[in-house]
Amino acid sequence: MRVKLRNPDRELHVAGPRKVHDVLIELGVDPDTVLVIRQKALITREERLADDDEIEIRPVISGGSNPGMKCKRCRGPAVIEVRRHNASFCQECFEHHVREQVRRAIKSHDMIRPGDRILVAVSGGKDSLALWDVLLELDYRVSGLYLGLGIGEYSDRSGDVTRAFAREREAELIEVDLRADYGFDIPTAGRTGSRSTCAVCGLSKRYVFNRTALEHGFDVVATGHNLDDEAATLLGNTLRWDTEYIARQSPVLPAREDGMVKKVKPLYRLSELETAAYSFLRGIDYVVEECPLVAGNTQLRYKEAMNAIESRSPGTKAQFFMGYLDKAAHLFSSEDRATLTACEECGQPTTGRFCAFCRARAQVLGRTLLAPEDLQTVGELSEEVLPAELYGTADRS
Ligand code: AMP
Ligand code: FES
Ligand code: ZN
């Protein structure tokens, strides 16, 4: 049979007939981390494959339910199994389950108030498109924001699928482009600046999300971070005992009068497997490829470590992160109320004269932000705690 693998794209021939599960094991693929698709339908790991079958093995999704398994909610035939919940669902009930998890996340953390305008940051990946879809389905007032990072074909395709999604649903999409609007792109910034590519990328995203929300009068910025993202970040922060980052790892960061818009992560109760299955079942065309610049990213290593434990003990990931929120988060919380003032370059909130984004941008463009008489303060400025870092996750690689 013909087997199409993704990330990177390649094709293999494997002899049949054989069970999906056996094919995956032979290829060294953890069945809990992939979606197996035949003729545009999800198939289960117990399914038998014929020699002339063609299948696609797509990362980050489970192999579906066992044949004959029934939907936990309606007892109809199941299409997807969520081992963590020890439950299988048919398509309709799975979509209900996903929306229910988002609804619970929003309610339990008071993420969105009645009448709030939400700006959802959309990368073109499965998570943020699923989030946008769910929020629209739940009738929230929500617009999308796409930030063009200038990462070659990857960014072109991400922009295309995001625009197509917005067009199909007649939803508002705001676009910001780093090169057109700020004069640089991420690959250049990674090569020329002093920060790592991912660090300058994360900094730019946080800056543009907050600024766009402020300028367009949105009340909340929502991102597509899922349970796997949050568990991996928490694992990394814990391994380093980075207590300041641990303290800030909340699904909600409240707004601040001095220029910080509220940030929420409504998918934190859903695994990568669930958001990928949701997008697939909803027919959402999303970018499967990962950013080509993240190879070797530490975050990916923590995800792999978590998945290794999860495959032996389903539920560990959720216990780790949800347990942190329930039992440990309050032990780390601290009031960080560094006063924010307007950046002298762009007007956005900062603890110093210039915000971290303007300083990074100036460095990439080879410009100086300081008058010559100010140069002696450069040393102090580089030591300050900046709101972008204060409000970001630890994406240092
Ligand atoms: P990442 O930092 O790539 O893990 O993405 C985390 C979240 O940030 C995603 O779920 C999106 O909500 C948002 N995001 C990432 N990249 C972009 C982008 N280019 N434009 C808009 N939002 C993005
Ligand atoms: Fe930011 Fe790849 S998406 S470096
Ligand atoms: Zn600035």
pLDDT tens figures, 195-206: 889 899 999 999
The identity of residue 337, as a single letter, is: R
Q: How confident is the model at residue 373 (pLDDT cuts 50, 70, 90)?
A: low
Kindly tell me the burial class for residue 327, based on how many C-beta atoms sit within 10 Å of its own C-beta (0-12, 13-18, 19 or more). Answer: exposed
282 plus 328 within the same structural domain: yes
Mean pLDDT of the chain: 88
**Per-residue pLDDT for 30 more than 70?**
yes
What pLDDT does 32 receive?
72
Greater model confidence, 64 or 7: 7
**Per-residue pLDDT for 397 more than 60?**
no
Last residue of a domain, one of 284, 309, 332: 332
- Count of domains forming the chain: 3
**Per-residue pLDDT for 383 more than 70?**
no
User: What is the percentage of the chain residues whose pLDDT exceeds 90?
Assistant: 63
Pocket test for ligand 1, best of 120, 127, 128 (most atoms within 8 A of CB): 128
Q: 379: domain range?
A: 341-390
Q: Which of 226, 135, 208, 206 minimizes the C-alpha distance to 172?
A: 135
**Per-residue pLDDT for 369 more than 80?**
yes
Greater model confidence, 139 or 81: 139
Give me the helix-helix angle, 227-239 and 272-281, nearest 10°: 160
358 plus 234 within the same structural domain: no
50 plus 197 within the same structural domain: no
52 plus 109 within the same structural domain: no
| Ligand 2 midpoint to CA 198 (Å) | 5
253 plus 364 within the same structural domain: no
Pocket test for ligand 2, best of 156, 191, 201 (most atoms within 8 A of CB): 201
267 plus 289 within the same structural domain: yes
What pLDDT does 171 receive?
98
CATH number assigned to the domain comprising residue 35: 3.10.20.30
Bridge pairing between strands 220-222 and 262-264: parallel
Greater model confidence, 376 or 115: 115
272 plus 364 within the same structural domain: no
Ranges of beta strands (E only) in the chain are 2-5, 10-13, 18-19, 34-38, 41-42, 48-49, 54-59, 80-82, 87-89, 117-121, 141-148, 173-177, 220-222, 252-253, 262-264, 341-342, 349-350
Last residue of a domain, one of 306, 332, 358: 332
Mean pLDDT over 47-63 rounds to 77
Ligand 2 in reach of 264 Cβ (< 6 A):
no
**Per-residue pLDDT for 219 more than 60?**
yes
Last residue of a domain, one of 32, 64, 96: 64
Q: Which atom of ligand 1 is nearest to the CA of 226?
A: 10
**Per-residue pLDDT for 335 more than 80?**
no
**Per-residue pLDDT for 140 more than 70?**
yes
Mean pLDDT over 132-143 rounds to 98
What is the widest separation between alpha-carbon atoms in the chain? 77
C-alpha R_g of the chain = 22
What pLDDT does 392 receive?
45
| Ligand 3 midpoint to CA 265 (Å) | 25
What pLDDT does 59 receive?
66
| Ligand 2 midpoint to CA 389 (Å) | 17
- Residue 72 domain-assigned (yes or no): no
Pocket test for ligand 2, best of 123, 162, 291, 298 (most atoms within 8 A of CB): 291
Ligand 1 in reach of 149 Cβ (< 6 A):
yes
Ligand 1 in reach of 246 Cβ (< 6 A):
no
Ligand 2 in reach of 287 Cβ (< 6 A):
no
The identity of residue 334, as a single letter, is: S
| HSE-CB for 108 with a 13 A CA cutoff | 16
Q: How confident is the model at residue 296 (pLDDT cuts 50, 70, 90)?
A: low
Of the bound ligands, which one is closest to the alpha carbon of residue 195?
A: 2
Q: How confident is the model at residue 394 (pLDDT cuts 50, 70, 90)?
A: very low
Do 230 and 246 form a contact (C-beta atoms < 8 A)? no
**Per-residue pLDDT for 16 more than 70?**
yes
> Cα separation of 45 and 129, whole Å?
27
Q: How confident is the model at residue 347 (pLDDT cuts 50, 70, 90)?
A: very high
229 plus 363 within the same structural domain: no
**Per-residue pLDDT for 324 more than 80?**
yes
Q: Mean pLDDT lowest for which of 112-126, 175-189, 276-290?
A: 276-290
What pLDDT does 79 receive?
85
